[in-house]
Amino acid sequence: MADVLLSRYAECLFWLARYVERAENLARILDVNETFSRDSRGGQNWRSVLQLHGDEARFEGLHGKATAESVLRFYVTDATNPTSIVSAVRMARENARALRPLISNEMWTQVNVLHNKLGALGSGALAAGNRARLFGQIKEACQTHVGVLEGTFYRGQGWHFCRMGRYIERGDQTTRLLDIKYHLLLPDPADVGSPLDVSQWNALLRSAAGYQAYRQLHPEGITPARVAGFLLLDGRFPRSVALCVREAGLLLDGLRSSYNLRGGTGAADELDRLHALLSTLSIEAILKKGLHEFLDLLQRQFIAITADLSDTFFGHRPAQGQSQSQSQSGPSGSQSQSQSQSQSEAGFEWWPPLPPLPPAQT
């Protein structure tokens, strides 16, 4: 019997992986921020989490000042916040529920248990002495999900969509983290090289789970340029943008060639171009031209890739007018994630103007 996958199942698998990855990334960012925010810039650090997700206006309307307690409630247990961990896990569970005929009992049980545990969190779960343990449990649960998936899920079309969603989400999250950190948390010139400066770049590496790997590669110490180059261009680090783009491209190519799928040409071409760009540029060239502009370009390309995959394989076209806010909608709900966009690309010469993506092939 041919390996046939319904488009709604493909979409559920794609978004299941993205929501789990998103929950883990947010837990990691909050955990590191809690650890490294006990200094004179603690308030600014918590605001940077809001800026990372584009939630400043909504948060201020609900809570006012960005304190550790209010930000953590907003991003961990607030079920009305679509960017919270609880919401991401709920959406992962809803996608997993729709996939019960395809996924293993172990996969369903693991996601369901995590959802129930988060739903049962009491007010004391975010107390100062309990936060590290809670974030550790969330990260471990998300990593367990990946392990259960890899150990039990059939290597068919669905496996390609699931892993592709994970790498696209991971690459996008890395660009956002680096963009916010590099531009909003840069110290004053007098602070460069100070304990505060090193601490902030330590926090960035730990947020991306890259501290040990970075120190293995650069034992001489931490500099902003080296950290940016490591997270963007090092094809051996699992959370680097270069590795995520490469793996997503290989998965899409394998999906199209192994199952004779004609669609996805636009997404495949964009992934190929991104891979070629990340393989040839140096971090010095990127910094000279403008790191923010480059990260903005990457984020817009991830949006375009997701749009083409959605249009081609999932049977619908994303909503129009998303230049400022990327509405990421899975089949079981929607996830709104703000996207900072550069309004000018003057002098940005690495990439020719992007042609419109081709129409979906049927």
Residue 356 lies in a domain: no
Residue 347 lies in a domain: no
> What is the Cα–Cα distance from 300 to 325, expressed in whole angstroms?
11
> What is the Cα–Cα distance from 326 to 283, expressed in whole angstroms?
27
Residue 215 pLDDT more than 90?
yes
Q: Which residue, among 166, 139, 125, 153, has the nearest Cα to 16 in the 3D structure? A: 166
> What is the rounded average pLDDT for all residues in the chain?
84
Residue 354 lies in a domain: no
Q: Which residue, among 355, 254, 224, 262, has the nearest Cα to 301 in the 3D structure? A: 355
Q: Which two tokens stand for residue 336?
A: 């709104």
User: Is residue 32 within 8 Å of residue 207, measured between CB atoms?
Assistant: yes
Q: Which two tokens stand for residue 71?
A: 């930000």
- pLDDT, residue 17, reads 98
- pLDDT, residue 284, reads 94
Residue 25 lies in a domain: yes
Number of domains present in the structure of the chain:
1
Q: Which two tokens stand for residue 174?
A: 């890395």
User: Is residue 177 within 8 Å of residue 207, measured between CB atoms?
Assistant: yes
- pLDDT band at residue 204 under the 50/70/90 scheme: confident
Give the DSSP H/E element, type plus range, for residue 258: helix 241-258
User: Is residue 57 within 8 Å of residue 35, measured between CB atoms?
Assistant: no
Residue 229 pLDDT more than 50?
yes
Q: Which two tokens stand for residue 29?
A: 């960012």
Residue 309 lies in a domain: yes
- pLDDT, residue 355, reads 40
Which ranges in 54-124 belong to alpha helices (H)? 56-63, 68-72, 85-98, 105-119
- pLDDT, residue 94, reads 97
- pLDDT band at residue 110 under the 50/70/90 scheme: very high
Q: Which two tokens stand for residue 57?
A: 């206006």
- pLDDT, residue 114, reads 97
Contacts of 237 (CB under 8 A, 6+ apart): 210, 213, 230, 231, 243
Q: What is the mean pLDDT of residues 133-139?
A: 95
- pLDDT, residue 184, reads 57
Domain containing residue 293: 7-333
> What is the Cα–Cα distance from 41 to 68, expressed in whole angstroms?
12
Q: Which residue, among 341, 339, 336, has the nearest Cα to 83 in the 3D structure? A: 336
Q: Which of 114-118, 120-124, 172-176: highest mean pLDDT?
A: 114-118
* pLDDT tens digits, 33-91: 887 655 555 455 788 788 888 899 999 999 988 888 999 999 999 999 999 999 999 99
Angle between the N-to-C axes of helices 265-280 and 241-258, in degrees from 0 to 180, rounded to the nearest 10: 150
Residue 350 lies in a domain: no
Does the predicted TM-score (pTM) go above 0.95? no
- pLDDT band at residue 360 under the 50/70/90 scheme: very low
How many CB atoms are located within 10 Å of the residue 105 CB? 9
- pLDDT, residue 5, reads 93
The values of phi and psi at residue 326, to 5°, are -90, 110
SS3 assignment, position 1: coil
* pLDDT tens digits, 297-346: 999 999 999 999 999 999 886 544 333 333 344 565 544 343 333 333 33
Residue 84 lies in a domain: yes
- pLDDT, residue 3, reads 74
> What is the Cα–Cα distance from 201 to 218, expressed in whole angstroms?
13
Residue 358 lies in a domain: no
